[in-house]
Amino acid sequence: MKDILTVKFFTVDRQIPAVECDSVRIPVADSSKGEFSGSYGIKKGHARAVFALKSGTVIVAKDGKTVLTANISDGFAIVENNEINITVDRIEE
């Protein structure tokens, strides 16, 4: 297992270069209608998981400082082996 957290963003037509970080906060949709939506934090060593994402802001931090803020559309995130793959239709950095 890698000793650092890596986040990758994918859209239909591009991939944003991978970012190494300490933590990521993602906007999650807890139901199909979004009534239990909120945000969720992920750090190194997180268990394998899949999240449904709602439109919102992803915040990537390293050493306590924000290194990337991205506005995303609905999509999903897969967490495995200290890597987070975020797949969405649209992203604005």
**What are 12-69's pLDDT values in tens digits?**
888 888 999 999 999 998 766 656 678 999 999 999 999 999 999 999 999 999 999 9
Q: How much is the pLDDT for 1?
A: 54
Nearest partner of 5 among 91, 77, 73, judged by Cα: 77
Stretch (H or E) spanning 28: strand 23-28
pLDDT given for residue 35 in this prediction: 60
The model's pTM: 0.88
* pLDDT given at position 32: 61
Residue 44: per-residue pLDDT: 93
- Domains (range + CATH), the chain: 5-92 (2.60.15.10)
Closest CA to 62 of 80, 79, 43, 77: 43
